[in-house]
Amino acid sequence: MSMAFNRPGTLLACGLQGGSVEIRPYAYGQVMSPMATFWTGSDCFFTAFLPDGVGIVTGNKLGVGIWYLGDTQTPLQSRQ
């Protein structure tokens, strides 16, 4: 449902139906297998990498969540 690349273009965040977000490496023109997957609670309408390169913002009908790549289990902040 949504995709975003990090600034260097090496990671792709894919927001999927059902609320999953997959983080996939991108190299040599190919998207690789997921290196991390987390669940946002509902269909993911948008994804964006934060300027720091280690955070991701997601949005769905439950609200907005800020996720950090080192901790893909629980959002650091969420707003509903």
69 vs 59, residue with greater confidence:
59
75 vs 28, residue with greater confidence:
28
| Residue-range definition of the domain harbouring residue 52 | 2-74
Domain assignment present for residue 27? The answer is: yes
Q: Which class for 65: exposed (0-12), middle (13-18), buried (19 or more C-beta within 10 A)? A: buried
pLDDT at residue number 48: 92
The mean predicted confidence, pLDDT, of the chain is 82
pTM, two decimals, is: 0.76
- The CA distance from 73 to 57, in Å, is 14
Domain assignment present for residue 79? The answer is: no
pLDDT at residue number 79: 43
- Dump pLDDT digits (tens) for 5-18: 888 888 889 888 88
8 A C-beta contact, residue 41 and residue 59: no
Domain count, the chain: 1
Looking at residue 71, what DSSP letter applies?
B
